[in-house]
Chain A
């Protein structure tokens, strides 16, 4: 009985295969045409530099693009962080040493953003920290529970997995708009609450509710991705361990605590760090949902702060924005190194 979904899977894969084969005829001709145009000059280069230097040629486009749009910007970011003014060209910008960092970091109390010289920066930091805390906890919990349930031999697993995954593919702008409408004064949520006799609320104009729903939307958006990774981890746990546990008369909760979670542990930690890295960078969907960080600055996060400093304000404070980018980059670097470290540990 339980082999039926398996069989239909395979069928799906098989038909997918023939579709691809059917498409290769066309693809072949397209490849031939493109080949005819570019081959002669590349082969001329091969005769010139020899076969063994060809890999450098193949790497060149990639490395040039990385150099210009990734490595050069890193160097620039560091350079701009030490300059002031609103000029774009670095030669026109005055060197200000650590002034930008001093502006960002000078605070009477880091706990009270209002006491800081650059209070918006610290508001953004605290907003981001709270968001990261709640979002990581909620997403992890929801994703883990969903993955554990989907790992059970449940019917229609593929359907549910796909369903939970669907939002991951949507654009953040679309998600922001869909939820904005859902939470509107005249939206479905208020209609539902009215049926229960609760008066309507303009959720996104109230500080507490808006922060709550930014987390809800984020969980709704991303949980499918983390579910998928955790599910892959769960399915890699050998099934005979569960059979052995069943023979050893382990209760389901004991099996979960003593077998499933410890074996999933490394995956869990990797997901946790990945989730933190992504959460620190919250911007798109929150920006659309909260009309640019509102109400007031209740949902102004770090990336939004950088964006506003550099691009949105009347004064384009590239130096301050770069300094904030450098600080955020350092935090992300630490998190990434932790992730790589744990990932390597998980592999071994």
Chain B
């Protein structure tokens, strides 16, 4: 009793303890309603992805993935389907031998004797919770899903690594040196924040054609490696590293590159982590650019592949949803473990 009370007390705790007014109630309705709105489509898709092909389009749908149960019965070659039936005024699970019009021939699976005749209008199939793992295993084995996955992992990993190094080098130059044109270069880089990919995608594609990277994963990776957001975020962070550390290293006979690699880079780890998380998310979720650059199936990334699937298997939702869910997993894991990094990173830099 006491436990229940304190749980309610915890959940309804507000600025003024002991008083719950209308605003609090409305706030809670909004938050709980919003949470449900976020979760229901995702969970619904997740549950659906576990349903067998025959079940997924049943309307009205069942919440959990279920399938009809089959049993082996002595004296019958094939497994029989199991039904709930009322025999002699007693509710029992019976196996159906055959069905003729409104009558069904049924046996008790435990004591198979002579089949009894039952009215089919009074029986319903016995269903058990069944997970259709083939929805997941089939795409992995039969379709190109593994290729897409491999391509996406490659693009995400290589692009993130390059993004970190290229932008950290630029940020180092722009935060720890005074040189002719430093401000102009910084403004030039930041100004590219104003030019979204959607505006330059046509000519950027032409450039990719020109350098021979069309339908090539490197054509997806390289054009977006230089990131103004990345330069800005890392530069702001590097500005907080005391200049005396750089000077101490210089007195310690470190080359400029060694200062970058051994002093500045390790000390920028928190900002690099934030940028790495974002880069992984950007690259993993990227759609329009790979869609433009990649044309042959063996080069598709996961997102482009998913889009292609939904065009081809438009009725095979069990496969589409399963693959959708597989591509959701890494992002969800990143979110669960690094949620705090991401939210503070966004609140601090306003980037997405």
**A residues neighboring B (CB under 8 Å):** 1-2, 12-13, 16, 20, 24, 27-28, 31, 34-35, 38-39, 42-43, 46, 51-56, 58-59, 61-63, 65-66, 68-77, 80, 88, 145-146, 149-150, 152-156, 160-174, 177-182, 184-188, 190-191, 194-195, 200, 220, 225, 228-229, 231-232, 252, 274, 277, 281, 283-284, 288, 303, 306-307, 310-311, 318, 321-322, 325, 328-329, 332-333, 336
Q: Are A62 and B347 in contact (CB under 8 A)?
A: no
Check A88–B206 contact: CB distance below 8 A. Answer: yes
Q: In the complex, which residues 6-23 of chain B have their Cβ closer than 8 Å to any Cβ of chain A? A: 10-15, 17, 23
Contact mask for chain B residues 311-326; partner A; CB cutoff 8 A; 1 contact, 0 none: 0000001001100100
Cβ contacts under 8 Å, B110 to chain A? none
Residues of A within 8 A of B205 (CB): 310-311
**Contact across chains for B256 and A46 when beta carbons are under 8 A apart:** yes
Q: Which of A42, A178, A322 contacts B41 (CB 8 A)?
A: A178
List, in ascending order, chain B residues with CB within 8 A of A68's CB. 207, 211, 223
Interface size class of B (residues with CB under 8 A): 35 or more
B179, B321, B340: the one contacting A13 at CB < 8 Å is B340
Q: Is the CB of A55 within 8 A of B38?
A: no
3 closest A-B pairs (Cβ-Cβ)?
A171-B285, A76-B203, A73-B203
Q: Which residues of A contact B172 (CB under 8 A)?
A: 55, 58
Q: What chain B residues lie within 8 Å of A61 (beta carbons)?
A: 166, 169-170, 226
* CB-contact partner of A173 in B56, B193, B195, B306, under 8 A: B306
Tell me whether A59 and B199 are in contact in the complex, defined as CB-CB below 8 angstroms, given that A166-B335, A182-B41, A228-B343 are known contacts.
no
- State the Cβ distance, A329 to closest chain B Cβ, in Å: 4
Knowing A163-B35, A173-B306, the reply to whether A188 touches B198 (Cβ < 8 A) is no
B209 at the binding interface (Cβ < 8 Å) = yes
In the complex the two chains form, what is the Cα distance from A178 to B37 in whole Å? 13
Q: Is the CB of A164 within 8 A of B38?
A: yes
Query: Which residue of B has the minimal Cβ distance to A177?
Result: B324
The listed residue (B166, B258, B273, B310) touching A288 by CB distance below 8 A is B310
Please report which residues of chain B, range 182-209, place their CB below 8 angstroms from some CB of chain A when the two chains form the complex.
182, 185, 188-189, 192-196, 198-207, 209
In Å, the complex CA distance between A39 and B27 comes to: 58
A20 lies within 8 A of B269 (CB): yes
B57 at the interface (CB under 8 A from A): yes
**Does B346 lie within 8 Å of A39, measured CB to CB?**
no
Q: Please, which residue of chain B has its CB at the minimum distance from the CB of A271?
A: B350
15 more contacts with CB within 8 A, not counting A34-B261, A171-B284, A182-B44, are A20-B269, A31-B261, A55-B179, A69-B224, A72-B203, A75-B203, A76-B203, A76-B206, A172-B287, A173-B327, A178-B42, A181-B321, A228-B347, A322-B202, A333-B194
The residue that B343 contacts in the complex, of A161, A179, A281, A332, with Cβ under 8 A, is A161
Q: Are B189 and A66 in contact (CB under 8 A)?
A: yes
Residues of chain B contacted by A51 (CB below 8 angstroms): 256
- Does B242 make an interface contact (CB < 8 A)? no
| Cβ-defined contact, A186 with B57, below 8 A | yes
Establish whether residues B185 and A63, one from each chain, have CB atoms under 8 Å apart when the complex forms: yes
A55 touches B194 (CB 8 A): no
Q: B46: nearest residue on chain A (CB-CB)?
A: A178
**A172 neighbours in B (Cβ, 8 Å):** 285, 287, 303
Does B155 sit at the interface, judged by CB under 8 A? no
- Chain A residues with Cβ under 8 A from B201's Cβ? 306-307, 310, 325
Tell which of A69, A164, A186, A200 has the most Cβ of chain B within 10 Å: A69
Q: Quick one: given A69-B223, A177-B320, are A186 and B58 in contact (CB under 8 Å)?
A: yes
Give how many A-B residue pairs fall within 8 Å (CB-CB).
303
Using A69-B207, A70-B200, A288-B307 as known contacts, say yes or no to A59 and B343 having CB atoms under 8 A apart: no
Q: Which of B288-315 contact A (CB under 8 A)?
A: 288, 292, 303, 306-307, 310
Given that A283-B198, A303-B198 are known contacts, is A1 also in contact with B61, CB under 8 Å in the complex? no
A39, B203: Cβ atoms under 8 Å? no
B15's contact among A35, A152, A163, A283, by CB below 8 Å, is which? A152
B114 beta carbon closer than 8 Å to chain A = no
* Minimum CB distance partner of A52 in chain B: B179
By a CB distance below 8 angstroms, the chain B residues around A188 are 40-41, 44, 61
Q: A147 to chain B: closest CB distance in Å? A: 11
- Is the beta-carbon distance between A39 and B257 smaller than 8 angstroms? yes
Q: Say which residue of B57, B169, B198, B286 sits within 8 Å of A281 (CB atoms).
A: B198
Whether B285 and A170, one on each chain, are in contact in the complex, defined by CB atoms closer than 8 angstroms, is yes
Does B281 touch A at the CB level, under 8 Å?
yes
In the complex, are the beta carbons of B317 and A181 less than 8 A apart? yes
A67 to B129, CA, bound (A): 58
Residues of A near B173 (CB, < 8 A) are 54-56, 58-59
- In the complex the two chains form, what is the Cα distance from A38 to B273 in whole Å? 23
Is B140 an interface residue, CB under 8 A from the partner?
A: no
Q: How far is B267's CA from A28's CA once the two chains are assembled, in angstroms? A: 12
CB-defined contacts of B185 to chain A, threshold 8 Å: 59, 63
B328, CB-defined interface residue at 8 Å: yes
* A169→B285 CA distance, assembly (Å): 8
When the two chains form their complex, are residues B340 and A12 in contact, meaning their CB atoms are under 8 A apart?
Answer: yes
B331 at the interface (CB under 8 A from A): yes
Q: Which of B38, B209, B335 has the most CB of A within 10 A?
A: B38
B342 CB-CB contact with A under 8 Å: yes
Judged by a CB distance under 8 angstroms, whether B160 is at the interface is no
Q: Do A168 and B352 touch (CB < 8 A)?
A: yes
Q: Contact at A66–B292, with CB atoms within 8 Å? A: no
A-B contact pairs, 24 of them (CB 8 A): A1-B13, A31-B261, A35-B258, A54-B257, A55-B174, A55-B179, A55-B182, A59-B169, A59-B170, A69-B223, A153-B15, A154-B13, A163-B34, A164-B34, A166-B332, A171-B285, A182-B45, A228-B346, A303-B198, A306-B201, A311-B292, A322-B202, A325-B201, A325-B202
